[in-house]
Structure 1
């Protein structure tokens, strides 16, 4: 990578967009510049209905090693001891995680190597995750006297409480089979084949109704934080809207007629 190379690479394959964190020398750390670049790419994708699935991976041997600790340390000599920078950094990071959540398209993380601290948070923020057999995950902040509180937000929404607290309290590396058991990832691929596995999943998603996937993703996250009765009301309204959509009429008719559906995708 040269200083002029983009921090996030984008490559499209038909209806699937692939975003690659492109700072291998820093293990694709989430510096402020990296977060800004990723946020800009996500904003662009949100406005492109022709893209129906997104893959997120990292260049080099690591997916993402979390925040740039050198950048963090460099601001300790600021007049406010770095508080303004740290708050801006964490706010920007939260904006990126929320942008993934709000993106109309499903996002698949691809992990070969390590995903640690905010990098592990990034995996948890994605809708799906595929890891190579050698992938490892960790929220090691506690080992540095810096508890991974913001990664804990994403972990708490992916893992049950005991595995989430185990990762956060112990700060130990978790291998791919354990991450699968904990609920952090969906699939384990043979070494070097995580991207290929994710591309196959993305192709499946791209063949679905874009409207129903977008509505379904939005509804899933909206109802997940609601009390049970409110969740059913939210989901019921969304499903009624979905039933009235052209794609639902087409899909049901295609099923009853035993023919392939033709979605009204852009």
Structure 2
């Protein structure tokens, strides 16, 4: 049994905690929503209110990280006001606590948006050239964690997120037009993310970067048409191809090969 703390038990962290708990792991989680505390307690998961970057949460952050073997950080960027700390500052503020509690293994859920400036086939070895401010911050966080000599950090670059309660096609069908319909699809189902996280936790945590992106052999037009049919959604928008589309296809095969685990969801 491993002692695992999840910083940010939201859309991904919540079901991940429940799954790891069912596997016999010892779990502690943080949330920013007081109403969730009773639900976690009912499932035998110790929980704390933590707003990362807030000095008032220092005690709760200490309680969360005390006696932790593996820390999983699943805090999304969100939208910060000009008066608030940046995303990179918020994540950076956690590092002294990781070191203080001598946590040797960190998992950070990043994003494949770091590849947005690139075209064609990309993988973990492709040089990153972040363009937007948020992508620059995410890439900076990745390097802060990977280059820290006090712990091993596994960076998981997640594709577009899909789950039973979250599917982009529900927004696509509300549009009149969808451009770049010939572009590849780089997405991942929450269940597959959790499956890979379980497998990583079973083994030693490597200081490495992995994409988690389903090998979907469909372009945007065909994928959204297929998914809309599954959900009974209509009418479909007009799909328009772009002869100069970036055709960015993110490979998620490195993690699959390393752990001998296939993707199961979103495949045609």
TM-score (norm 2): 0.31
Higher strand share: 2
TM-score (norm 1): 0.31
